[in-house]
Amino acid sequence: MQKQVIGTFFPEATFLLSVDTPEQMPPDRGAEVAFAGRSNAGKSSALNAISGRRMLARTSKTPGRTRLINFFAVDPSRRLVDLPGYGYAKVPASVRERWQESMAVFLGHRRCLRGVVMVADIRQSLGPLDWQMLTWCLDARMPVHLLLSKSDKLSHGAAVRALVAARRMLEDAGMAVSVQLFSASSREGVDEARALVLDWLGVDGRENKKNPGNKGRESGAYKQSRKNLRDFPRSGRRSG
Ligand SMILES: Nc1nc2c(ncn2[C@@H]2O[C@H](COP(=O)(O)OP(=O)(O)OP(=O)(O)O)[C@@H](O)[C@H]2O)c(=O)[nH]1
Ligand SMILES: [Mg+2]
């Protein structure tokens, strides 16, 4: 029953294309929300749970499964983007360097990108590459929402303690990032995350649907998402 309701949010979501380099990306128009995080953190599972389409993005027990940038069309002008996981030890240095370049281009220059959903396994602390990704996003003035994923793996008390600790750490680092508990398995936090993604994509109708891409980073959806970055002072955002 719940599935039917969920499905109505992304009824037309389909796989669009996989790309290896920024030049192959779809035209920079409309609105996009990207899922980023360490390899095996649960990005593809989160994308599926939020879209209500269980098999949309491929998930795997094997880390490093998503190697390309995968685009999914929500409708003709809106996309979800599954980014390759980072921190997978077996990836050769050349691939890692290409990934860094692609990410820098994607986060720094993609005008239709409205926000990044960062996914981090609740049982692991944020690593150097997570901090690098956060810094890139915030330097690009990109709204970031952090999902502490696989919350079903901890007791409720331990999960809440991890949430409080993550919020404090980000606040101490001066990073305006909203954080929540999330589990694709138990569905904890799925509705909350979906509401933000829909808001970023401008699905609530406030966006100018004729030409959303031209409004770039200062669109209504972007301004609204800034308001959603609750719990953190605006002064925490980096301006450079
Ligand atoms: N218990 C539990 N397992 C999860 C959850 N989300 C994902 N997993 C498992 O974690 C593993 C990795 O999930 P993926 O969604 O493929 O992770 P990913 O971040 O896309 O991985 P890469 O594409 O390799 O970077 C799979 O075995 C999933 O079943 C969750 O909420 N709870
Ligand atoms: Mg994946």
Nearest protein CA to atom 14 of ligand 1, as residue? 42
pTM listed for this prediction: 0.83
pLDDT in tens, 190-213: 999 999 999 999 986 444 343 333
Residue 77's pLDDT band (boundaries 50, 70, 90)? very high
What are residue 116's DSSP bridge partners?
34, 144
Q: How many domains does the chain have?
A: 1
In a domain, 80, yes or no: yes
In a domain, 239, yes or no: no
Q: How far is the CA of 58 from the centre of ligand 1 (A)?
A: 10
Residues 6+ apart with CB under 8 A from 97: none
Q: Cα torsion for 148, 192, 113, 177, to the nearest 10°?
A: -50
pLDDT at residue 187 tops 90: yes
pLDDT at residue 65 tops 50: yes
Nearest protein CA to atom 21 of ligand 1, as residue? 40
pLDDT at residue 4 tops 80: no
Mutate to test the pocket of ligand 1, among 38, 43, 45, 58 (most ligand atoms within 8 A of CB): 45
The pLDDT, as a whole number, for residue 112 is: 97
CATH number for the domain harbouring residue 175 = 3.40.50.300
**Ligand number with the minimum distance to the CA of 41:** 1
User: Are 206 and 220 a contacting pair, CB within 8 Å?
Assistant: yes
The pLDDT, as a whole number, for residue 8 is: 52
Pocket of ligand 1 (CB under 6 A): 37, 39-45, 59-61, 63-66, 85, 149-150, 152-153, 183-185
In a domain, 238, yes or no: no
3-state class (DSSP) for residue 219: coil
In a domain, 240, yes or no: no
pLDDT in tens, 137-179: 998 899 999 999 999 999 999 999 999 999 999 999 999 999 9
Q: Which atom belonging to ligand 1 lies closest to the Cα atom of 58?
A: 16
Q: How far is the CA of 109 from the centre of ligand 1 (A)?
A: 28
Full domain range(s) for residue 99: 4-233
